[in-house]
Structures are given as structure tokens and as C-alpha cells.
């Protein structure tokens, strides 16, 4: 098990996050096991298939939020374009599979997201429930960003290096959208406290999952 990587201040704003991002930290409390990228590289078909479904689930998750909260104008304004972006990422991953002679294949069990769902608090107000969902999306964006950064810097395939760099930038923008939407619906102190709890819980979950080269998370 890797040592959990505690930092004094959890980055919260996009600017703080990008500063940490340069320092290879993000807001995440546990860096990805360095063995992951080596084994991921050996199973690139599995990684691309799993990644395609991550993009599909990201688009679906935004669609669900739009359908569940149609009265929230800001949410609609910010998430409708994210659906299109996530869907275009899905198309681009399919194109990478096609170029390599691989098929989409079936969706794999997402143990990471299943475990993350346990972080969500039940009950509370409609706004608190919305913030739980927004922070869950922000968390998955942050971890995806970290994984894409690792792939862009370490993968031998030059086309995939560029591809993952572009996606890393795009997912960082989505992270910003989810955090700023959470602050629209609950006070900043509440969101910041809850975000820290999400980050620490995620680190514990990740430390207990096996390192798998056939999964993006």
C-alpha cells in the first residue's frame, strides 16, 4: 500500500488546483501508484475500452443532472456544453480503438466508482444532494486529469501522448465547472469542507484497490 500523501492545504479554486497540478499533486491526497502506467501500457486495448466508457458515463452523469435539476439555470448553462464535450471525447476514444483494430467491447465493472458512491451522504436538502453529486463528478474529473497527465508524459505512443494531454486540459475545465456550480448552491465553507472529506475518502478507497493495468481508475 502506498503512503497517503497529505498536504497542508487542499487546493480549492481552479487557480490553486492548477498550481498544484504543476507540482504534480492536484487536490488528490494519494498519487497514482507509479507501476500503473507501465502495466496500463501493456494493455492499451483494455485501457482504451475502459476509458471510452468513462467518457460515456461522464456524459450520462451530466445528462442525469440536467434532467434532475431542470430549474437550475446556471447548471443547465454550464453542463449542456459538457455533455457535448464528453460525448466528443467518447467518439475520439472510439476512433483511437478503431485505428488500432480494436472494438469497443463490453463495459467493465467500475470498482472505483462503485466504491466512491459510498462517500455520498444520504438525506439532507435538495441543494445538499445536488452538491454531493457535483463534488462526485469533480472528484472523478480530478483523478482522470491526474491519470491523463501520467499517460501523456509516459506513454510511448506519440499520438496517445498528445491525445491524453488534450483530454487532461479539458477535464481540468470540467473540474472547475463542477466546483463552481457546487458553490452556487451551498455556502463556500460547506463546499470546501465537504470537498476535503471527498478527497480524503477517495485516497483511502484508492489505497485499497488493486493496481490494474486494464482500468483507467
For Fe ion, which residue of 171, 179, 202, 203 counts as binding (CB under 5 A)? 171
Task: Please state, as a whole number, how many other Cβ atoms lie within 10 Å of the Cβ of residue 170.
Answer: 18
The reply on whether position 215 binds Fe ion by CB under 5 A is no
Half-sphere exposure of 54 (CA within 13 A, CB side): 27
User: 151-155 long-range CB contacts below 8 Å, 24 or more apart?
Assistant: 151/37, 151/40, 154/37, 154/41, 155/37, 155/41
The reply on whether position 146 binds Fe ion by CB under 5 A is no
Helices (H), 118-157: 126-154
In whole angstroms, give the CA distance from residue 135 to residue 120: 9
Q: Which of residues 96-115 bind Fe ion (CB under 5 A)?
A: none
Choices 57-65, 126-134, 156-164, 177-185; region in contact with Fe ion by CB under 5 A:
57-65
The reply on whether position 174 binds Fe ion by CB under 5 A is yes
Least gap, CB of 206 to Fe ion (angstroms): 19
Per-residue cell: 206? 484508492
Q: Which of residues 62-81 bind Fe ion (CB under 5 A)?
A: none
The site that binds Fe ion (CB under 5 A) totals a number of residues, namely: 7
Between 50 and 171, name the residue whose CB sits nearer to Fe ion: 171
Sign of the C-alpha dihedral computed for residues 74, 125, 198 and 20 taken in this order: positive
Between 58 and 216, name the residue whose CB sits nearer to Fe ion: 58
Looking up cell 469497443 gives 104
Least gap, CB of 86 to Fe ion (angstroms): 5
Least gap, CB of 141 to Fe ion (angstroms): 5
Between 165 and 190, name the residue whose CB sits nearer to Fe ion: 165
The reply on whether position 89 binds Fe ion by CB under 5 A is yes
**Which residues neighbour 94 within 8 Å (Cβ) at sequence distance 6 or greater?**
52, 104
Task: Please give the residue ranges that form the binding site for Fe ion (CB under 5 A).
Answer: 55, 58, 86, 89, 141, 171, 174
Amino acid at each position: 500500500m502506498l503512503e497517503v500523501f497529505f498536504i497542508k492545504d487542499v487546493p480549492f479554486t481552479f487557480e490553486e488546483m492548477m498550481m498544484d497540478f504543476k507540482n504534480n499533486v492536484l487536490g488528490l491526497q494519494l498519487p497514482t501508484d507509479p507501476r500503473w502506467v507501465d502495466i496500463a501500457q501493456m494493455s492499451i486495448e483494455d485501457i482504451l475500452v475502459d476509458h471510452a466508457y468513462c467518457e460515456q458515463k461522464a456524459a450520462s452523469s451530466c445528462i442525469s443532472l440536467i434532467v434532475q435539476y431542470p430549474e437550475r439555470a446556471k447548471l443547465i448553462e454550464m453542463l449542456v456544453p459538457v455533455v457535448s464535450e464528453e460525448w466528443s471525447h467518447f467518439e475520439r476514444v472510439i476512433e483511437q480503438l478503431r485505428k488500432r483494430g480494436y472494438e469497443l467491447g463490453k463495459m467493465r465493472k467500475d470498482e472505483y466508482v462503485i466504491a466512491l458512491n459510498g462517500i455520498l451522504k444520504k438525506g439532507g436538502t435538495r441543494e445538499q444532494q445536488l452538491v454531493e453529486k457535483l463534488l462526485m463528478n469533480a472528484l472523478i474529473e480530478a483523478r482522470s486529469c491526474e491519470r491523463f497527465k501520467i499517460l501523456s508524459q509516459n506513454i510511448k505512443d506519440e499520438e496517445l501522448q498528445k491525445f491524453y494531454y488534450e483530454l487532461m486540459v479539458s477535464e481540468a475545465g470540467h473540474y472547475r465547472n463542477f466546483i463552481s456550480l457546487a458553490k452556487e448552491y451551498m455556502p463556500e465553507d460547506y463546499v470546501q469542507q465537504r470537498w476535503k472529506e471527498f478527497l480524503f475518502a477517495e485516497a483511502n478507497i484508492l489505497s485499497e484497490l488493486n493496481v490494474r493495468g486494464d482500468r483507467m481508475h
